[in-house]
Structure 1
Amino acid sequence: MTPPAALAVVAALVAVAVLVGIVWRVRDGRRRDGNGETVDAADAGEWGARATLVQFSTEMCARCPQVRRLLGQVADAHAGVVHTDIDLTRRADLASKYRVLQTPTTLLVDGRGAVRARFNGVPSRADVEGALATLPVLQEA
């Protein structure tokens, strides 16, 4: 292979890598609507009357503590919303069951167990609260 051809191949590989990186960064943390799947209450642990923020994490996840704090604050600020964290290191079976390909991954589950939104990566507080706003508010007794 001639040096100009090798240089062209390297340049093409760098361009593809940069493009993949940009797409990955744009999609990270974005809200995706639930696709009709449900979450078993036995998998999620504590269940919220209005919603449950189910976070999938691992022991070695660097961004998971940040998301744990964020989701805990959001849950504390809204009545009937609970945050639960599932460690995939101990429950690897749930990664394939709920199609978790990266950590952190967060599912917004309504009171009936239906997934209403999915966040892969670090979500913004505004996106999480926006997804919560689509759910009915609990009536105080």
Structure 2
Amino acid sequence: MTLRTGVQRAPSWKNRIAGTGITIAVAGLAMTLVEPANAQTIDTLARDTTQHFSSAFAYGLNTICFIGGALLMLGAAVGIYQHQKNPNSVRPGYLIAGGLIGAVVFAFPYMAGVMTRSVTGQSISATGAQQAMTFTQ
């Protein structure tokens, strides 16, 4: 883009990000089309992609829970310290609730894993295998 003064201006960051995304999409499509595509290959590729996204989601959830829970508990601890210095600054109920919610958020990945293993006996994984649901009484 050229300004009225004749000075060349660099493209905006939005255009750069859009160009990068298009390049990555085209490269990914080209990589999938390099090998001959049959049902087995496509199924394996879909299963592997699903497993990678599932793992990335699990890591992201763990990170958010650990950091968010730790920050909530740290904020509650700092708030209790401030409340001791000035009792009119923060209500203690908010601090206790923040600390308890922080502890639950911090322990959520562990609790979710225990609940999953207690119901199924193993952790959840995407295998692509079909299974019939059975109900017993």
TM-score under structure 1 normalisation? 0.28
Structure with greater helix share of residues = 2
* More contact order relative to length (CA 8 Å, sep ≥ 6): 1
Higher radius of gyration, 1 or 2: 2
